[in-house]
Structure 1
Amino acid sequence: MKTAAAALLFVQLALATAVPKLETKISYDGYKAFRIKTDHNTAAIESELSRLSVVPLNLDTDKHIDIAVAPQDVAAFEALKFTTDVMHEDLGADITKEAVFAPYEVTAQAIPSLTWFNSYHAYADHVKFFSDLSAAFPQNSEIFNVGTSSQGRNIFGIHLWGSGGKGSKPAVYFHGSVHAREWITGKVVEYLTYQLLTQYGNNTEIKTALDKYDFYIIPFVNPDGFVYTQTNNRLWRKNRQTRSGASCVGTDMNRNWPYKWEVAGGASTNPCDETYKGAAGGDTPEIKALMAFTETLTNGKGIKLFIDWHSYGHYILIPYGYNCAAKAPNHARQLSLAQGLSTRIAQSYGTRFTTGQACAALYATTGDSTDYLTDVAKAEFAWTIELRPGSSASNGFVLPAAQILPSSIEQWEGLKYLLANV
């Protein structure tokens, strides 16, 4: 077990440093980020913004538009007199603060230290975190690989199990870091993994959950994109796939699953757009690999619960995304559980999560993971959770490191409720 983990770590560290940096690092120094209240008048505001140099930060623009304004256009933007809140006085300065990574430490028992959750970290350290965590609990965990990314990085995961041995129970299945800039998702998934493993031996509630389910956790579905956010562009979203005939790079992997992919309105056909869905459903190497792995879970003991972790907005979204009128057969049960989860999350810090059917509660999406997991992979529950910050808060994707632990703790409390009730 330790040998396999060490071999994986070696490959990952090599790839993290070997991929050449072909582009200049994008600076957001001096960019001022705003949240604009739209009052459902989005088109008129977007028309005004089209004259300025701005970077869009959110897709759900009906109630508000989040943007970063280039330094030379800040005065012109403020002259428009929109109703706004400031998200970042200087986005570049906040990115610089966020990138002050604390050293990676382990305890005397060779377990990663909880200080890990005091800051963000470089990708190579994330790989080492999982390698060390699994090596410390070889009787209950192992590292696995589902395939390789566009740039050749391993898409790795960690498998956790309890009594009965590995692969003997229905699956609880997590994805993190699908969208590269959503750094908080990787940290929350790491915290959940850490707590499940370290508490298994001394917490009856956790032992019951781990004895009842096999956990398959893939913390970096989009490793290339995540590395790119740390080397070139902090706000990058997509994978790093290049396509013949297209000058723009990347596909939105949460629009590339081959279920309802062809439905219009929930993704873009323009390779330069943030929600570009690809030339065909499942044509990214990452999604191909994930489809094959997901099929093994379906054909094994089945999938009880799937959660795709994203940020931001404070949402717990149940199927479906492709059609606002479509409902899963167990819609009422899913909604009830989601509402219970929201209540439990709020008990830690008062954080309120909106629950609802994805298309109606947020916006339409096609070719997304939860629709695929529901109807193709036959997961009993398949959700998207949009983490901090919420719709009334600042920060967006560049969430201060001080919010890592609160974000993780409230989700851990919620997960314990969920595992006891699904």
Structure 2
Amino acid sequence: MKLTSVVAQLLLAPLALAAAAPGVGKKISYDGYKVFRISTHHDAAEVKDQLKSLTAVPFNLNADEHLDIAIAPESLAAFNALELDAEVLHQDLGADIKEEAKFGAYGGVSANAVPSLTWFNTYHAYADHVTFFNDLAGAFPQNSEIFNAGTSVQGRNLFGIHIWGSGGKGSKPAVYFHGTVHAREWITAKVVEYISYQLLTKYSTDTAVKAIVDKYDFYIIPFANPDGFVYTQTNDRLWRKNRMTRSGSSCVGTDINRNWPYKWELTGGASTDKCSETYKGLAAGDTPENKGLVAFTKSLQASKGIKLYIDWHSFGQYILLPYGFDCSARASNHARQTTLATGLANKIRESYGTRFTYGPSCSTLYKTTGSSTDYLTDVAKAELAWTIELRPTGSSSSGFILPAAQILPSSIEQWEGMKYLLATM
């Protein structure tokens, strides 16, 4: 999710350290950091002013209602002295990161075997994710294959899985998913993996799933930002951007979701500061990742068109419709999109009671420019182009460090929602 202007106002020592380290160096520790949700009582400016001298890392920030922020151990006494209206979300962020990083072992499966559902019990290393998708496609060669949508800054493939049904591959309109655009949002890869798994393993036994797969071609990219994801596992769990360096700056990274070549030039929805978490780049579409994703998107548009695009993120539990660049703009089929979003939110809630807020991106959450969903809506002409912000939210929020025990519940509720959406849209 977007980080508001409080980023520029805080002394983000750990974040600045990560931004200035282009290579793989010392791993950043968050041991002893305590994460708070601070109620702003609709006076965010005053709260930000009080925080500006502290060493802190912003989490999810909703400036009008609350700020979620991790306070460094050396600043805790000063923070407590402010006596703000705050509750604790993480007692020790470092300890929770260590618990999350107890990766499950995955050595692959025998030829043509289906991976086990135990994959979804834990998080995994990047190399294991690659193996998982190769194994999944290998188990269903008659209606799936691995494809490449481009290359990252560091040379990793933007790989994905293509799933099709009757009529053969490439014969139907596209359903197109991106995961892990923002590196620290680990749950997004797990959710799109679960959806891929269900589409393939249920195709021959579930008539509803077969009908969905026979109607669309699915193109699912689990890591739109693979370099950033790897960096979260080796150096800084809270890293967000890609790993692109810029001449004349020690700061690293561009926000891929502020770099799409549509409404990129507008102000107020991204940053021109190379050190910012929402840095937009020097020119529209100038990151290697975006160049590949744009080219691949154009190929889908030119083929059978794009029925549905979802950019999966965390956190906050939102279903965000067009547009991000203008809070008063609405898609031409806005009424239909709202009806579908209502149904999706209702279906998601049936599994575990999880509530998702829905509405136009800018007016519901915040302004964004150079975003994938606006590009997909107006340039690639996708019928539906949404952002879904996954778990968590609320006073029990664990932010980006979602416990492994919530991988399956989060995945299951989204799968139930997707079955509804794909059958109804």
TM superposition score normalised by structure 1: 0.94
Q: Does 1:187 align with 2:190?
A: yes
Aligned to 2:35: 33
Aligned to 2:157: 154
Out of 223, 227, 231, which is 1:228 matched to? 231
Same amino acid, percent of matched pairs: 70
Aligned to 2:177: 174
Segment drifting more, 153-162 vs 60-69: 60-69
Aligned to 2:219: 216
- CA pair 314-104 structure 1, distance change in 2 beyond 3 A: same
Out of 53, 57, 60, which is 1:58 matched to? 60
Aligned to 1:204: 207
Within-5 A mapping of 1:330-345: 330-345=333-348
Aligned to 1:377: 380
Aligned to 1:307: 310
Cα distance in 1, alignment partners of residues 92 and 115 from structure 2: 33
Post-superposition Cα deviations, 1:155-196, rounded to whole Å, max 9, x if no partner, equal 101100000000000000000000000000000010000000
Q: Does 1:366 align with 2:369?
A: yes
Q: Does 1:255 align with 2:275?
A: no
Aligned to 1:272: 275
SS in 2 for 1:389: coil
Could you list the runs of 5+ residues in structure 1 that have no partner in the other structure? 1-19
Cα distance in 1, alignment partners of residues 395 and 345 from structure 2: 17
Supply the AA of the counterpart residue of 1:193.
Answer: S
Aligned to 1:70: 72
Structure 2 contact 180–313 (Cα < 8 Å) conserved: yes
Structure 1 contact 105–116 (Cα < 8 Å) conserved: no
Post-superposition Cα deviations, 1:318-360, rounded to whole Å, max 9, x if no partner, equal 0000000000000000011001100000000000000000000
Could you list the runs of 5+ residues in structure 2 that have no partner in the other structure? 1-21
Out of 277, 284, 306, which is 1:281 matched to? 284
Q: CA deviation at 1:40?
A: 1.6
Q: CA deviation at 1:107?
A: 6.6
Supply the AA of the counterpart residue of 1:256.
Answer: N
Post-superposition Cα deviations, 1:103-160, rounded to whole Å, max 9, x if no partner, equal 1266776211101000000000000000000000000100001111011111101100
Cα distance in 2, alignment partners of residues 133 and 343 from structure 1: 30
Supply the AA of the counterpart residue of 1:329.
Answer: S
Aligned to 2:357: 354
Post-superposition Cα deviations, 1:251-306, rounded to whole Å, max 9, x if no partner, equal 00010001000111000000100000001110000001000000000000000000
Matched residue count: 403
Cα distance in 2, alignment partners of residues 146 and 255 from structure 1: 19
Structure 2 contact 37–395 (Cα < 8 Å) conserved: no
Structure 1 contact 319–371 (Cα < 8 Å) conserved: yes
Cα distance in 1, alignment partners of residues 377 and 395 from structure 2: 31
Aligned to 2:47: 45
Supply the AA of the counterpart residue of 1:183.
Answer: W
Cα distance in 2, alignment partners of residues 69 and 356 from structure 1: 32
Q: CA deviation at 1:85?
A: 1.6
Structure 1 contact 182–311 (Cα < 8 Å) conserved: yes
Q: CA deviation at 1:247?
A: 1.5
Aligned to 1:12: none
Q: CA deviation at 1:393?
A: 2.8
Aligned to 2:123: 120
Out of 77, 95, 119, which is 1:93 matched to? 95
- CA pair 254-358 structure 1, distance change in 2 beyond 3 A: same
Structure 2 contact 258–264 (Cα < 8 Å) conserved: yes
Cα distance in 2, alignment partners of residues 33 and 74 from structure 1: 10
SS in 2 for 1:57: strand
Aligned to 1:390: 393
Structure 1 contact 314–391 (Cα < 8 Å) conserved: no
Segment drifting more, 275-284 vs 56-65: 56-65
Cα distance in 2, alignment partners of residues 400 and 32 from structure 1: 16
Post-superposition Cα deviations, 1:6-35, rounded to whole Å, max 9, x if no partner, equal xxxxxxxxxxxxxx9532110000000111
Cα distance in 2, alignment partners of residues 396 and 114 from structure 1: 25
Post-superposition Cα deviations, 1:215-241, rounded to whole Å, max 9, x if no partner, equal 000000000000000000000000000
Structure 1 contact 86–394 (Cα < 8 Å) conserved: no
Q: Does 1:141 align with 2:144?
A: yes
Cα distance in 2, alignment partners of residues 200 and 402 from structure 1: 27
Structure 2 contact 89–395 (Cα < 8 Å) conserved: no
Q: CA deviation at 1:245?
A: 1.3
Q: CA deviation at 1:375?
A: 0.2
Cα distance in 2, alignment partners of residues 197 and 418 from structure 1: 18
Cα distance in 2, alignment partners of residues 305 and 359 from structure 1: 20
Cα distance in 2, alignment partners of residues 90 and 372 from structure 1: 39
- CA pair 279-381 structure 1, distance change in 2 beyond 3 A: same
Aligned to 1:4: none
Structure 2 contact 190–407 (Cα < 8 Å) conserved: yes
